[in-house]
């Protein structure tokens, strides 16, 4: 999933981006409100992490501007700020933010809030996704096919997660590039196709037909997750 960090403390922004990328997210950085608006208006993001005290355009105004735009109606906004007075929290949420986290914060809590916001954007609400024998745990970043654990790269995991969160939808390569890669990705490359082929091969190691059965190519349009995306409540089903 792709995340925009709008934070004028550059050291904090870089640390956040590094941590998020380590967890498999694509992350872009804006260091002022106007830059944040330009990126939010021209790219597709799943979550925006937004400070309030920003130069050029403050976070409250930026949040309102994003919400007034019809470009990305489903983007989730998490305000991450040192402002902690109840009136300030109320103002942030009333401006259109979905969640509010005070600084200083624990990174694992931030990750948990991001995962919760992503589930809110999807029809699938469980952190553990299942399609037949295939199980993906978004918290532990694990994928199992039957009793065999499948080792995926971060991009392969991101592709699989995004497809499973949108079962039955035909998703273009451009859309996958928007959500799984960051702003530096080259839209003219075949990187999505290469990663899809690699993902299919790994899924087919245990079941020779699994890769093509789960991830179908819709010629001229993109790819479709052909399996279901059932929710798993008990982790022991993976064992």
| Greater pLDDT, 53 or 236 | 53
Average pLDDT of every residue of the chain: 84
- Tell me the pLDDT tens digit for each residue of 94-138: 888 999 998 889 999 999 999 888 877 655 556 788 888 889 988
H or E element, residue 116: helix 107-121
Average pLDDT of span 182-187: 72
- Of 230 and 201, the structure prediction assigns the larger pLDDT to 201
Q: In the prediction, which pLDDT does 236 show?
A: 40
When pLDDT is averaged across residues 157-177 and rounded to a whole number, the result is: 88
The pLDDT value recorded for residue 133 is 83
Residues 6+ apart with CB under 8 A from 216: 223, 224, 225, 226
Give the model's confidence band at 234: pLDDT under 50 very low, under 70 low, under 90 confident, else very high.
Answer: very low
211 vs 149, residue with greater confidence: 149
- Beta carbons within 10 angstroms of residue 15's beta carbon: 14
pLDDT at position 121 is 63
Whether a cis peptide bond, with omega within 30° of 0, leads into 104 is: yes
Q: Could you identify the residue written with the tokens 């906004």?
A: 77
SS3 state of residue 52: coil
**Worst-scoring range by mean pLDDT, 114-123, 197-206, 213-222?**
114-123
The HSE-up count of residue 84 (CA atoms within 13 Å, CB side) is: 6
pLDDT at 189: 73
pLDDT at 233: 43
Dihedral, CA of residue 112, residue 115, residue 117 and residue 123, to nearest 10: -140
* Residues 148, 151: Cα–Cα separation, whole Å: 10
The top-scoring range by mean pLDDT among 46-50, 73-77, 191-195 is: 46-50
Give the pTM: 0.68
Q: C-alpha distances in angstroms, 158 versus 89, 105, 212?
A: 32, 25, 18
Six-digit token string for 8: 């004028």
Q: What is the mean pLDDT of residues 86-100?
A: 84
């Amino acid at each position: 999933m792709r995340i925009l960090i709008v934070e004028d403390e550059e050291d904090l922004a870089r640390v956040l981006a590094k941590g998020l990328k380590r967890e498999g997210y694509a992350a872009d950085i804006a260091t002022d409100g106007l830059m944040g608006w330009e990126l939010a208006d021209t790219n597709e993001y799943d979550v925006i992490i937004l400070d309030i005290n920003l130069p050029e355009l403050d976070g409250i105004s930026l949040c309102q501007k994003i919400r007034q735009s019809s470009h990305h109606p489903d983007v989730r906004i998490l305000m991450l700020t040192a402002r902690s007075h109840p009136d300030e929290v109320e103002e942030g949420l009333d401006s259109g933010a979905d969640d509010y986290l005070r600084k200083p914060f624990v990174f694992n809590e931030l990750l948990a809030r991001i995962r919760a916001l992503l589930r809110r954007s999807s029809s699938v609400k469980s952190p553990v996704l299942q399609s037949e024998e295939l199980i993906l745990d978004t918290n532990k970043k694990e994928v199992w096919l039957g009793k065999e654990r499948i080792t995926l790269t971060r991009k392969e995991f991101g592709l699989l997660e995004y497809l499973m969160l949108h079962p039955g939808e035909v998703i273009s390569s451009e859309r996958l590039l928007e959500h799984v890669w960051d702003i530096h990705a080259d839209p003219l490359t075949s990187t999505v196709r290469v990663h899809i082929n690699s993902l299919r091969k790994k899924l087919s190691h245990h079941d020779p037909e699994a890769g093509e059965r789960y991830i179908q190519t819709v010629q001229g349009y993109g790819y479709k997750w052909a399996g279901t995306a059932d929710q798993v409540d008990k982790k022991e089903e993976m064992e």
